[in-house]
Structure 1
Amino acid sequence: MGRRLIVTAIAGAGVAVVAGALLFVSGEQGSQAARSAPRMPAWEDPLTGQEVAQATAIASAGSRSHLAAGRIKLLYVERDDDKDVSDRRRADAYLYDYGSDRLIVRTVDLGRGTVVRETVARGVQPPPSKEEETTAAGLLLAHPGYGKVAREAYAGAGGGRLGSAADLGLRGLIFTPSGEKGPARQCEAHRCLRLFVRLPDGTWLDTSRLVVDLSAKKIHTLEW
């Protein structure tokens, strides 16, 4: 009986100690959380990852079927720098419609969660996105002639068997034709890239005469 009382007393003391420790830890964590509370981003701050995701979802809501079909692509999201509304956090989402060759820019008010402005233009070509560069490289690899050359060059540069376009070092620039003849003249209206491909040994694949037409999903050869 005495031993049982002693064990009970020790157990009770243990509970009290644990409870006190929990209160101490809880209070300490609470003060740390208060000290590390995230600061609301100011107008001039870069967009956070959460804001980019929010703007992407809102700007894409009206084009989901075309996005799923690949006709429209979201290029990127940037902070809106309109100083007339510097009291609000806004983002510009750039989308490109390859079916009609139109650039669509939707401005999202992040606080309200709505699109507050949309502009549509033809003949305006912003820099390519990383996804477009990979898409262009995929079209290059799918070409029966140029794809074979690219794979052989990759293997010869010590890269082994080329798995996909994602294995390549890529850089794309918008191609604007200037007096070109042949199919490359379509790039006056289409979205076209000059693609630069870096191989594993640091050399570059010779793509100087190639233009990737993302609108037509074709490779054009410049006539020199």
Structure 2
Amino acid sequence: MGRQRIVMALAGAGAVVVVGAALLLPGGQGSQAAEAAPREPVPGDPLTGAEIARAGDIASATSRAHMAAGRVNLLYVERDDGKDAEERRRAEAYLYDYATDRLIVRTVDLGRGTVVKESVTRGVQPPPSKAEEVRAAELLLADPQYGTGVREAYTRAGGGQLRSASDLGLRGLIFTPGQENGPRRCATHRCVRLFVRLPGGTWLDTSRIVVDLSAKKIHTLEW
């Protein structure tokens, strides 16, 4: 009976040692083995951050010289929901060429790492990107008529000295000439109406201002 107790005690001690050894494996391998491996995204899943960045790099590979010169801008990347994408991970990258006022949409097959389709259109204006909102604000700040007023309004609102356009709260909408007596060139150019939020939540009155991103000019609406 005593020998049985000793054997059982040793067996129990051995179990403790084994468990302890598993917990002390280098790099936490014991706990990692218990975790499920991350699931690979399937065609219907939203794009991951890494996929968005990769699709943008692939789609803009042939336009980098124009992008560096400010002529072309990558607006955004979205998941391709077309029928051809039902069985593959594909993304659509939207680029805009300000020199020719053309919207370029390139479809990227993420599995192959290549552009499989490209469409080029004129007269189509998707919503402005965040980068375009900042660019429009930079043009506004550089304007001799409006730039000083924006900086002074920012300081009066309690924001101190305005360091850059990124300090402003920005919201942009595409402007197209309609019943308003606006610049006719905005019928083909990429033009933005910019709404500027100041510190404290107040909004700057920019209702008469239109920023022409294609011509890099500021227009004032007359009414």
After TM superposition, the score normalised by the length of structure 2 is 0.86
The answer for the alignment partner of 1:129 in structure 2 is 129
Indicate the SS of the match to 1:202: coil
Residue 210 (1) aligns with residue 212 (2)? no
* Aligned counterparts, 1:49-68, within 5 A: 49-68=49-68
Please report how far the alpha carbon of residue 26 of structure 1 lies from its aligned counterpart in structure 2 after TM superposition.
4.5
Q: What CA distance in whole angstroms lies between the structure 2 residues aligned with 1:89 and 1:217?
A: 37
The answer for the alignment partner of 1:43 in structure 2 is 43
Question: 1:122-146: per-residue Cα shift (whole Å, max 9, x none)?
Answer: 0000000000000000000001120
The answer for the alignment partner of 1:171 in structure 2 is 171
Please report how far the alpha carbon of residue 47 of structure 1 lies from its aligned counterpart in structure 2 after TM superposition.
0.7
Q: What CA distance in whole angstroms lies between the structure 1 residues aligned with 2:151 and 2:140?
A: 10
Indicate the SS of the match to 2:201: coil
One-letter code aligned to 1:221? T
Indicate the SS of the match to 1:81: coil
One-letter code aligned to 1:74? L
Please report how far the alpha carbon of residue 203 of structure 1 lies from its aligned counterpart in structure 2 after TM superposition.
0.9
Question: 1:162-209: per-residue Cα shift (whole Å, max 9, x none)?
Answer: 111000000000001114546x11100000000000010211101010
* Aligned counterparts, 1:1-224, within 5 A: 21=21, 24-26=24-26, 29=29, 32-33=32-33, 35-181=35-181, 184-224=183-223
Q: For this pair of structures, how many residues does the alignment match?
A: 205
Percent identity over paired residues? 73
Runs of 4+ in 1 over 6 A off after TM superposition: none
Distance change in 2, residues 1:34/1:82 (3 Å): farther
Indicate the SS of the match to 2:60: helix
One-letter code aligned to 1:216? A
RMSD: 2.0
The answer for the alignment partner of 2:13 in structure 1 is none
Give yes or no for contact 2:55–2:91 (8 Å, CA) kept in 1. Answer: yes
